[in-house]
Structures are given as structure tokens and as C-alpha cells.
Structure 1
């Protein structure tokens, strides 16, 4: 079995060293960073199975680091922080973390949380594609084929299409798409959804996406 690789990001070097030693003793490969900037650099240069991320760090805090990573990846992220307020934890989950552990913490508990999140992630990754008519979305590589033609979509466009396929034949409101794709902290114009839908339609070249006036969008199968 391949050993899983974890990136730990923590500005307290004593805690960082202890976590690294403990996880290495549990047969994980461990890499470390002491701030968000270093984390982003290492994340772009290497492949990891998980990131354990402190929140309060110099240069780039954990929340911002998570948001940057979530623009391109669904890698499992566990926040590890002294921030214990419910609002802080809610913010972490809204940004896309998979778990949230508050300090002080037990190393044995940390390992159990790591194991649970990695297991859940592996189970989710077993379903590696989503299909609708002549469209096929690869959930590992974030690529899409339409009638065997590779189509270039941005991450947000990909996730909108993924949401529509997963929820088919439901009608998805603009507000639901804003919350799930842009996040609860987005307060801009909902017409940004319409602009992305327009781009998706143009790129896939087939009229699969149907507008439900005054509500939102759904998918529609083509008549033979």
C-alpha cells in the first residue's frame, strides 16, 4: 500500500515538529511549511493527499490559504487552530475545509481525524466521472469531453456543470449556485451565474442547459 503524504502548515515550530514526528511514526510521509505563502509554493510543486493547516499565521493566514487552494483543488484540508468560536469554525467549513480541530488537541485524536478524512476522500474519489448524454466530466483531472471533444472549462464553470448533473432533473436556483460555487461570503450580483452559464453553453456547443425563467437552471436531454 502506498504511503500517504501530508503537508503540515504551522508557524509554531515546536508543535510542527511534534506533529510531523507523530504522523511519521504512523507511517505517513510528512512535509512541512511555516506559513501560507510557503504552503502554496509547496502545494504547487508537489502532490499531497492532505493538508493540515493552521489559521493564524504570518504572511498569509490559513483561511486565505485554503481559499486559494480551493480555487484549483479538492484536496482534503483539516484546520488546526486556537480559534474556538463557532463563527470561526463555520467560516472554515464554508471555505471548504473537511474538518476543524481546536488547540490544545490530542495527537491520537488528530490521527483518527486524519484517517477518517482520508478514508472519506478515497470513497468519494471512487466515483471518478459524471456523465450526461454526450458529456463526460472527469472528477480527478477536472476535464470534460463532449462527443469525444475535450472542452476547456474554468474551475467554476466545471463545478456549475457538475452541480447541474448531480442534481438533474432538479431546477437549481441562482442563489443555490452562488452559495455552493462562490461561497456564502459572496455578496456580488447573481448575474455572475448567468455569465458563467453563457460561457459554458458556448464552450460545450450543445443546448443541454435550460433556463427556467425567474428560477434558475436545469439540464435537458436532446430529442433524438
Structure 2
């Protein structure tokens, strides 16, 4: 399953590492620019979903880099910088930045900004499919595919599988799944969740996927 790639353009090695650990620990795939003579090449090679950009950098300013990126990409850009005047923030907006956070930053606020920008830039409807262990979840057609075989899914079944795919390899508690469905205006209680899981398992078995959704006793489900 593909993770959202975030590129860090920050020359302080401590902050660079801190950001990578934070982002990787929250489900993103973070990488950092190490050669500041070829920042644009790094951006083009990485194809990031979002960029964290400092203003004060060794070769050229973050403003200049932002302006260059905007000449070929609309990727969300968050300025994370120690420059904290109103003019700094205004310049970042005028040059195409999407958000402005000053150092020392609050990690919760930074993660919230990233999540908000990701949802705005990449709504679920634009993500055509998710992959895990040979199974392909097609969101637009509400189907799951395995080894050339397909099964149709109800709205609830699709949302449950979407949540499991997004947390693939991790145990998802029943409460978390129910809360997620309620947040998406799908009213499922604990008993209805069991019914839906059983129906999904039957459909998966019908296309050759057995034991794909595993029950962890008193913990929840995992794929």
C-alpha cells in the first residue's frame, strides 16, 4: 500500500531527523534533501505529495525554491521556519505556500496542518485503488480484486476494507472501526460490524482470498 510521500527541505540535521521520525511514525513516507545544489531535481525525482520547506537554506532561499516549484507543480507546501514576522508569512503566501508554521513548532499542530492539506489536495475519490498482499481495493467501482477475480462491495463493506487497508499490518480495534464509520455518516454498531465482517469474508473467500481478515482476540481485526 502506497504511503503519502513528504519531502523535507531543511538544512538543520537535528530538525531534519526529528521531522522524519515524526512523519514516518505517523504513517507517512518522509525523505529529506541532502544536496542543496540540486533541490529541484530532488523534488522532481521524489514526486512528493507534500513539502515541508524552510526559508533560510544554504544555496537559495525557501522563497526562491517555492517559486520554482510553483512553475511546474501544485504540490502542497508548508513553510516551517524560524522567520516569524508578518512579512515572512505574507511572502510565503504570495509565492504559493499553503501554510506557515514557526519554529519551535507544535508537533500536533504540524500533523493537523499536514492532514488537512492532504485531505483537501487528495480526496479519497481521487485515490483509485489500494493494494495489499495481492488484493486490490477499487474505490471508484466499490469492488475488491484478487488473482483476476472481483467481488462487489456495499458502502459499509467498502469503508471497512478501506480502513483496514489504510492500517494494513496493524491491529484495528472494533471501537476504532465503528467510530470511523460513524464519522463518515455510516451508522454501524458493534453487532452490525460483526455481520459486515462476516459478509466481507464470504465475498473474499469467493474470489480466493481466505484468512485475509484476521481476528485478534479481544483486540480487533488486522489484514
Secondary structure at 1:37 match in 2 = coil
Could you tell me which residue of structure 1 aligns to residue 119 of structure 2? 119
Shift of the alpha carbon at 1:77?
0.4
Shift of the alpha carbon at 1:46?
2.5
| Unaligned segments of structure 1, at least 5 residues | 127-224
Secondary structure at 2:105 match in 1 = coil
Could you tell me which residue of structure 1 aligns to residue 110 of structure 2? 110
What is the CA–CA distance in structure 1 between the aligned matches of 2:74 and 2:57, rounded to whole Å?
A: 22
Superposed CA deviations along residues 118-159 of structure 1, whole A, max 9, x for unmatched, are 111124995xxxxxxxxxxxxxxxxxxxxxxxxxxxxxxxxx
- Cα gap change, 1:76 to 1:122, in 2 (>3 Å): same
Secondary structure at 2:8 match in 1 = strand
Could you tell me which residue of structure 2 aligns to residue 46 of structure 1? 46
Could you tell me which residue of structure 2 aligns to residue 89 of structure 1? 89
Is 1:76–1:117's contact at 8 Å kept on the other side of the alignment? Answer: yes
Q: Which structure has the higher relative contact order (CA within 8 Å, separation 6+)?
A: 2
Superposed CA deviations along residues 29-57 of structure 1, whole A, max 9, x for unmatched, are 01101465343121122211011000001
The correspondence of residues 1-224 of structure 1 with structure 2, limited to 5 A, is 2-34=2-34, 36-123=36-123
Is 1:80–1:102's contact at 8 Å kept on the other side of the alignment? Answer: yes
Q: Which of structures 1 and 2 has the bigger CA Rg?
A: 2
Shift of the alpha carbon at 1:27?
1.1
- Tell me the TM-score normalised to structure 1 length: 0.53
- Tell me the TM-score normalised to structure 2 length: 0.53
- Cα gap change, 1:105 to 1:71, in 2 (>3 Å): same
Shift of the alpha carbon at 1:105?
0.7
Is 1:35–1:60's contact at 8 Å kept on the other side of the alignment? Answer: no
Q: How many pairs align?
A: 126
Is 1:6–1:31's contact at 8 Å kept on the other side of the alignment? Answer: yes
CA RMSD of aligned residues (A): 1.9
Secondary structure at 1:78 match in 2 = strand
What is the CA–CA distance in structure 1 between the aligned matches of 2:98 and 2:81, rounded to whole Å?
A: 14
Superposed CA deviations along residues 131-189 of structure 1, whole A, max 9, x for unmatched, are xxxxxxxxxxxxxxxxxxxxxxxxxxxxxxxxxxxxxxxxxxxxxxxxxxxxxxxxxxx
What is the CA–CA distance in structure 2 between the aligned matches of 1:79 and 1:35, rounded to whole Å?
A: 19
| Unaligned segments of structure 2, at least 5 residues | 127-223
